[in-house]
Amino acid sequence: MIETIERGPVLHKEIQLRIRRYIAEQQLQPGDRLPSEETLCAQLGVGRSAVREGLKGLEAIGMIESRRGAGSYVAQFDAGRYLGVFTGSSLLEGLSIKELTEVRSLLEVAWVKDAVERLTDIDHVDLVAAFGRMRDHAALGQPYRWDDFEVHRIIMRHVPNQLIRSMLDALYTLYELHPAPIKTGSNNEIDIEQHGMLVQAVIARNGEAAQRALIDSFNKAATNYGFAIGWGDVARHLIEKQQ
């Protein structure tokens, strides 16, 4: 039995919450059938259109699947798909470039040592090529932010945590889409130099040097955007080592 809900301005989200809770409490597994739309309407105390909107939202994030003429079923959950939908809507609308930079920097600095150890020789070839494109575009005065993201994507591609990989990929995508302007006077030569140090550290499989290079690079990026990163306790000890 699904608990009746009170109406509110985000009714479809409350419907989704109740259905998710129902799935968990009933210990439903992928392939199990959900109650019919009619049953959901009666138990939740809402109209059919609201139930359908809620179900569509759950289907969009891969939690359920709709089978024509057969109803809705629990799906095999895909964390990457969920993060893609989530970041493509609420995060893109709500997060500032400062918030994106802080989250991304903390994740990369915390996980880069593990990522560096898992890179293969082929990954190194890809990394050198991506950095080469970044350096060439910068030398020609052309935009190189896509090359920058590709460098970081390659470095972090083997992070031993699927959720962290998905989060980082979502953050890179948000950066690519974010329209935030960079402050005038930013020094591309320093940026390329810092990324060169990062690439060298990664190729040498020196995780600590890679961490230091990332911190320098992120601090510069933050300065270009006009703010300072709130590193917190996760990377503060690394910052203190550099001072």
220, 166, 148, 203: CA torsion to nearest 10: 90
pLDDT, one tens digit per residue, over 200-211 is 999 999 999 999
**Which of 27-31, 81-85, 118-122 has the lowest average pLDDT?**
81-85
Q: Does CATH place domain 94-242 in 3.30.230.10?
A: no
Q: Which residue has the higher pLDDT, 159 or 61?
A: 159
Q: What is the pLDDT of residue 155?
A: 96
Q: What is the pTM of this model?
A: 0.65
Tell whether the model's pLDDT for residue 186 goes beyond 70. no
By percentage, how much of the chain surpasses pLDDT 70?
79
**Which CATH number, 3.40.50.2300, 3.40.50.300, 1.10.10.10, 3.40.640.10, labels domain 11-77?**
1.10.10.10
